[in-house]
Amino acid sequence: MKSTMMAAPLSLNHLLERAGKLFAANEIVSRLPDKTLRRHSYGEFYRRARALAHALQGAGLRKGDRVATLSWNHHAHLECYFGIPAAGGVMHTLNLRLSPDEIGWIAGNAEDRFLIVDDVLLPLYKQFAHLHKFEKVIVFPFSGAAVPAGFDDYEALLARADPDGFSYAGHDEDDPVAMCYTSGTTGRPKGVVYSHRSTVLHTLVASLGDFWGLRGTDVVLPVTPMFHANCWGMPYGVVMMGVKVVFPGPHLHPEDLLDLMQLEPPTLSLGVPTIWLGLIQAFDAAQSAGSPNHGRWKLPRGMKSMVGGAAVPESLIRAFDRHGVWIKQGWGMTETSPVCTVAYPRDELGEATDDVKYARAATAGVPVPLVDLRVWGDEGELPWDGKSVGEIQVSGPFITGSYHRVPVEPDKFTADGWLRTGDVAAVDELGFVRITDRTKDLVKSGGEWISSVDLENALMGHPAVAEAAVIAIPDEKWSERPLACVVLKQGAQATAADFAPHLLKHGFAKWQLPDRYEFIDAIPRTSTGKFWKLKLRERFPK
Ligand code: ADP
């Protein structure tokens, strides 16, 4: 017997058409380089995305050609998310925080044909232009200034194109729509290529109630860069649901974000933990009567915040909850589209104490539908008992099965085709994944593993600590011992001796405590804003 269902391919173009028909009046807000707000409607977005597709085809784009973007979060970048695939192209978001050498290498490895770049980022483009020759460089006049000679003008291209005369490039659901490189925190960047099918499935799953819980009445503030794992897929979600979106443009400092939240209060926001750490510090500092920012900000009550990309300290979740903001932690990778797990308050926790609920919220969460997740130890698959620690392996329709132009290696994929994430975790009976480390960050002391993530989270719960990162240093007797790098809150005082009692109170054994503390000004950040332990290991080799 055969199913009677139509063989209609899953398609991003459907989401674009839907937004044009159903949500034409809904708003897209972008913060421009001069900090003014530009408002534009989904109706305009729809026509401009189609015009972009028409213009790209007119410029000779062929199916499967890569079009790179080098852009902040704004409306034109959203147009690229849909216009490039509509034309049959593959959108490749370049990470503007990488070094020019790395960006040039990545553009070459992806064989990008065209580039769409913000005018304010042209100085960066010029630093890697010699490393990869784009056939066409289209400049988006984000600042409002005239586009310099020698480049194509994004707005002029759109003005000449005909959104009504455009027709979509035909495609199968497995055809590519976007690609993204891993940020290379633990090795050379590798390209992951997403399809219509994987992107639509990921959008549907991530938008569900217990995860993003995306509704048409939401106002979304995506602080996660659109080049970081496709802004975790949120641009596709907002278009699918016609959700009002507020793009912060290049202004990502805590004060700027807090200002923006006053102008356009979001109901849902997303970003890595360091963003929210900075935000709560600026907000708390403004509460004291003597602060120049006293009374300037309110946190949007009832806002949900999706935070992931690195472990979220429980103290951060508690700090925001005190102001009516609920942080939902998610875990995933560029390789996984990226949402794999989300920590939501499961029904079964209904009667549990607040401490238990916060502890669950501080895990990476529960696997979302369509993601198969297992924990693998030396002897094979481990039980979900909350104790058995091994490597997380995942498989599913929005998880990559290979890398662009890289042979499939056993250290990345298992013989039965699962992705090896390099993250170490235990899963409890309710399915909450508790990540203890990345394989490369674990501290191996005398044959036992010490979780750097657990230590960091406990240290960041100390009232004097703003940030903490724990690394392994070599030790003759124990092979490795933990060293804690600590950034104190402004005006706070603490010495190493203050931390041992705090950590013991949090359940650490004596042998797990750091032997050494280094008080530093700031923890270095990776290109996606995570703590960069590699730099700390270089700074404190022993
Ligand atoms: P990079 O590998 O360069 O950091 P990604 O953004 O793809 O680039 O990072 C994926 C990794 O980020 C995961 O493998 C994991 O180590 C880490 N990560 C993501 N979310 C979480 C989380 N909630 N808790 C702990 N680690 C996380």
Catalytic residue among 440, 444, 489, 535: 444
Q: Whose CA is nearest to atom 13 of ligand 1?
A: 333
Active site residue 449: yes
* Mean pLDDT, all residues of the chain: 95
| Exposure string over 162-187, b if 16+ CB within 10 A, otherwise e | ebeebebbebebebbbbbbbbbebee
Confidence (pLDDT) at 186: 60
Is residue 400 over pLDDT 80? yes
Residue 397: which residues within 8 A CB-CB, separation 6 or more?
197, 198, 201, 370
- CB of 525 within 6 A of ligand 1: the answer is no
Active site residue 182: yes
- CB of 452 within 6 A of ligand 1: the answer is no
Distance 308 CA to ligand 1 centre (A): 8
Confidence (pLDDT) at 476: 86
Residue 358: exposed, middle, or buried by beta-carbon count in 10 A (0-12, 13-18, 19+)?
Answer: middle
Distance 481 CA to ligand 1 centre (A): 23
- CB of 336 within 6 A of ligand 1: the answer is no
Distance 211 CA to ligand 1 centre (A): 18
Identify which of 215, 349, 261, 232 has the alpha carbon closest to the alpha carbon of residue 29. Answer: 261
Q: Whose CA is nearest to atom 24 of ligand 1?
A: 311
Catalytic residue among 102, 335, 456, 467: 335
- CB of 341 within 6 A of ligand 1: the answer is no
Question: Read out DSSP for 437-448?
Answer: EEGGG-EEETTE
The CB density around residue 386, as the number of other CB atoms within 10 Å, is 13
- CB of 227 within 6 A of ligand 1: the answer is no
Residue 286, helix vs strand vs coil? coil
- CB of 364 within 6 A of ligand 1: the answer is yes
Contact 273, 313 (CB under 8 A): yes
Q: Whose CA is nearest to atom 27 of ligand 1?
A: 310
Q: Whose CA is nearest to atom 19 of ligand 1?
A: 309
Pocket test for ligand 1, best of 435, 451, 460 (most atoms within 8 A of CB): 435
pLDDT digits (tens, 9 = 90+) for 343-388: 998 988 888 899 999 999 999 999 999 999 999 999 999 999 999 9
CA of 435, closest atom in ligand 1: 25
Specify which of 318-327, 403-412, 432-441 reaches the highest per-range mean pLDDT: 318-327
| Exposure string over 458-471, b if 16+ CB within 10 A, otherwise e | bbbbbebbbbbbbb
Residue 401: exposed, middle, or buried by beta-carbon count in 10 A (0-12, 13-18, 19+)?
Answer: exposed
Q: Which stretches within 67-161 are classed as H helix?
A: 75-86, 100-110, 122-128, 154-160
Position of tokens 């490749």? 92
Is residue 185 over pLDDT 80? no
Instruction: Give the percent of the chain with pLDDT over 90.
Output: 86
Quick one: average pLDDT of 81-104?
96
| Exposure string over 422-435, b if 16+ CB within 10 A, otherwise e | bbbbbbeeeebbbb
Residue 69: exposed, middle, or buried by beta-carbon count in 10 A (0-12, 13-18, 19+)?
Answer: buried
Distance CA 179, CA 190 (A): 10
CA of 422, closest atom in ligand 1: 14
Question: Read out DSSP for 328-372?
Answer: EEEEE-GGGSSEEEE----GGGTTS-HHHHHHHHTS-BEEPTT-E
Distance 394 CA to ligand 1 centre (A): 14
DSSP 297: -
Is residue 36 over pLDDT 90? yes
Distance 438 CA to ligand 1 centre (A): 8
Confidence (pLDDT) at 441: 86
pLDDT digits (tens, 9 = 90+) for 516-528: 999 999 999 988 8
Angle at which helix 452-460 crosses helix 496-505, to 10 degrees, equals 110
Residue 301: which residues within 8 A CB-CB, separation 6 or more?
323, 324, 325
Confidence (pLDDT) at 188: 78
Catalytic residue among 69, 93, 182, 334: 182
- CB of 115 within 6 A of ligand 1: the answer is no
Confidence (pLDDT) at 187: 67
Quick one: average pLDDT of 193-222?
97
Distance 274 CA to ligand 1 centre (A): 13
Is residue 42 over pLDDT 90? yes
Residue 213: exposed, middle, or buried by beta-carbon count in 10 A (0-12, 13-18, 19+)?
Answer: middle
- CB of 327 within 6 A of ligand 1: the answer is no
- CB of 333 within 6 A of ligand 1: the answer is yes
* Beta-bridge mates of residue 247: 30
pLDDT confidence bin for 448, thresholds 50/70/90: confident
Distance 259 CA to ligand 1 centre (A): 29
pTM attached to this predicted model: 0.94
- CB of 120 within 6 A of ligand 1: the answer is no
- CB of 189 within 6 A of ligand 1: the answer is no
Distance CA 83, CA 157 (A): 13
Contact 243, 237 (CB under 8 A): yes
- CB of 224 within 6 A of ligand 1: the answer is no
Distance CA 463, CA 234 (A): 34
Tokens at 9, concatenated:
């391919």
CA of 189, closest atom in ligand 1: 3
